[in-house]
Amino acid sequence: MARFEDRVCIITGGASGIGAETARRYVRDGGRVVIGDVDEALGGAIADEIGDAAAFAPIDVSDPDSCASGVAFTVATFGRLDGLVNSAIRMGPAPLEDLSLADWNKVVDVGLTGTFLMTQAAGRWWIDNENPGAVVNLSSTGGLHPYNLAGAYSTTKAGVIMLSKQFGLEWAKHHIRVNAVCPGHTETPLTAYMRDPAVKQARADVTPLGRVGQPEDIAEGILYLLSDDASYVTASTLDIDGGMARSLFNHMPGRKWD
């Protein structure tokens, strides 16, 4: 039996990158998905590519009414809701001394507040209907370590980790699991610098597993946390980064024991 047979998942930020790949693989494993995104053209194209087991919903995660509408659309379209993946993010890189309030807000509003609002909307439906559920929130190794010159990104992603832990503990009694994943450098439309072969190789060289991550690497970790294989896992964080976040001493000058 496929892991997600008769199950339905909303994937916000699902129009590209990790979100889109997670949607493809969720359906391949028997499930149905709603692609939630503000990019209607790209999100609709991904849903069309996947087929009848996918639908697109215009979801602005920074708007609580839009989040609630996304949940209602999912239930009306597929009859249920079992999982949620929050991968929507916006970028506003700048040194903190130059960062505008508008750029701070746009990253926090989508990446952190949006994760809160969308998780809340799904959780309210599960609690009201006495259904279990599983949420996976995308943080980043940038939420474990400061990402200089990235504006509000690291603060937002660190907040996602703590928010996931708090939701996971508060909702455990409702059999709703909430976890976070922390991808390392991953080749997606957001990481345009990876198109430079020299940059991509340099990134691979400082990763213990010797390569840059791909969307499918992250998607498989997300699917694990959504599945019954992780039925005893909540309020936890899964690093998917080829060992990068733990490799500080690999890069220190001095004696080596290779």
Average pLDDT per block of 10 residues along the chain, 258 residues long: 94 97 98 98 98 98 98 98 97 96 98 98 98 98 95 98 98 98 89 82 93 96 98 98 92 73
Q: Beta-carbon neighbour count of residue 256 at 10 Å?
A: 8
CATH of domain 8-242: 3.40.50.720
Q: Are 109 and 159 in contact (CB under 8 A)?
A: no
What integer pLDDT is reported at residue 253 of this predicted model?
A: 85
What integer pLDDT is reported at residue 255 of this predicted model?
A: 63
Residue 26 CA to residue 8 CA, distance in Å, equals: 9
The single residue of 153, 193, 224, 232 carrying the catalytic annotation is 153
What single DSSP character describes residue 13? T
Residue 174 CA to residue 127 CA, distance in Å, equals: 7
Name the token pair of 155: 């603060």
Contacts of 195 (CB under 8 A, 6+ apart): none
What integer pLDDT is reported at residue 252 of this predicted model?
A: 84
What integer pLDDT is reported at residue 156 of this predicted model?
A: 98
Catalytic residue status for 193: no
What integer pLDDT is reported at residue 258 of this predicted model?
A: 60
Residue 198 CA to residue 207 CA, distance in Å, equals: 15
